[in-house]
Amino acid sequence: MNSAEKYTSSRINNLALEPKKFLDECSRSYHAKVSAAARNIFDDKSKKIVMLAGPSSSGKTTTANLLSKMLGYMGGRAYTVSLDDFYHPHSVGYPLDENGKPDYECVEALDIELLHLCFGELIRKGRAELPVFDFKSGERINNAKKVELSENDVIIVEGLHALNPVITETLDENGLYKIYVSVSSRVYEEDGSVLLSKRDLRFTRRMVRDYSFRSTSVERTFEIWQSVMRGEDKYLFPFEGNADIKINSFHPCEPCVFAQRAVRLLETALNGENSEKAALMINKLSLFKDIDYSILPEDSLLREFTG
């Protein structure tokens, strides 16, 4: 199954008539893309640091973990490091955007000094104690995870800003392999117009995930999403061209997998400030047959958002 193909709602619903087969094919297709990237990394022994960037809810975390697993199958070993763990604690505060609100998407929301210190130690000494960020409390736990690198180990660094020169300027470019992962496909109406944009698809992923795992209301997700989009336009997309390889994380089955749960969540926002946006998304997602997400393959990227 090629996610670069053009998918309409009717085509997706037809494929959903055999749900298990549909889900399995979507997952296999994505795994094949990641496997090709893993082979490139494994075959080039000079690449010790894999920088993996992408917009919100593109599946960066799952892709990083999958890369690590596949490198293991090939005889290598990889550690995954999330840039999210380098967020400043909420108690410290964040830079403000042009509207005077905290800018969670800017690169300065990360503790750059700590980040350079940890990565520098990994490169020079082969070991470092890394932080872990607790999203529910909004606090960062320093020295929470010890990493020690052997000669043949690889570090996979994933996050929105992984291709940003502010992050990579202290690293040896010859030792880097840069990956950009994103939802790069749309879902179309029968007349060829766009039904679900790339951002619609990612918003749906994020809404479901944040409600389930970060105790975030739909209204709050709508509010944050404006900042997310501005941050992507300003801090990510200008550096997309720095990637050595691009991976499309779109799964044609995802509108069916998320539809029922997403509609229920969106209904809670029908009386709020984002009622029109919620109603529009409900109308779009209601077009798709429901597929029980419990039959997703255990290693499906979509489980990053459904659990």
- Alpha-carbon distance 97 to 30, whole Å? 36
- Average pLDDT value for residue range 14-36: 97
Structure confidence by residue, pLDDT tens digits, 254-265? 999 999 999 999
Asked if the model's pLDDT at residue 1 lies above 70, the reply is no
Q: How many other CB atoms sit within 10 Å of the CB of residue 52?
A: 28
- Average pLDDT value for residue range 26-42: 95
Q: Which of 3-7, 227-231, 279-283 has the lowest mean pLDDT?
A: 3-7
128: helix, strand or coil? strand
- Whether residue 19 contacts residue 130, with contact meaning beta carbons closer than 8 Å, is answered with no
Residue-wise DSSP of 39-74: HHHHH-TT--EEEEE-STTS-HHHHHHHHHHHHHHT
Structure confidence by residue, pLDDT tens digits, 209-267? 999 888 899 999 999 998 889 889 998 999 999 999 999 999 999 999 999 999 999 99
Q: Quick one: which H or E segment has residue 37?
A: helix 19-43
Q: Quick one: which H or E segment has residue 7?
A: strand 7-8
Global pTM reads 0.87
Structure confidence by residue, pLDDT tens digits, 83-140? 999 999 988 888 887 878 888 888 999 999 999 899 888 877 888 999 999 988 889 9
- Alpha-carbon distance 152 to 149, whole Å? 8
Q: How confident is the model at residue 56 (pLDDT cuts 50, 70, 90)?
A: very high
**What's the DSSP call for residue 110?**
B
Asked if the model's pLDDT at residue 190 lies above 90, the reply is yes
- Alpha-carbon distance 8 to 284, whole Å? 12
Angle at 275 between CA 272 and CA 276, to 5 degrees: 155
For residue 83, the model assigns a pLDDT of 93
- Specify the CATH architecture of the domain 7-306: 3-Layer(aba) Sandwich (3.40)
79: helix, strand or coil? strand
Asked if the model's pLDDT at residue 152 lies above 90, the reply is no
Asked if the model's pLDDT at residue 205 lies above 90, the reply is yes
Cα separation values, 175 from 127, 134, 171, 239, 243, Å: 17, 31, 8, 18, 14
Which positions ≥6 away from 289 have C-beta within 8 Å?
13, 16, 17, 256, 259
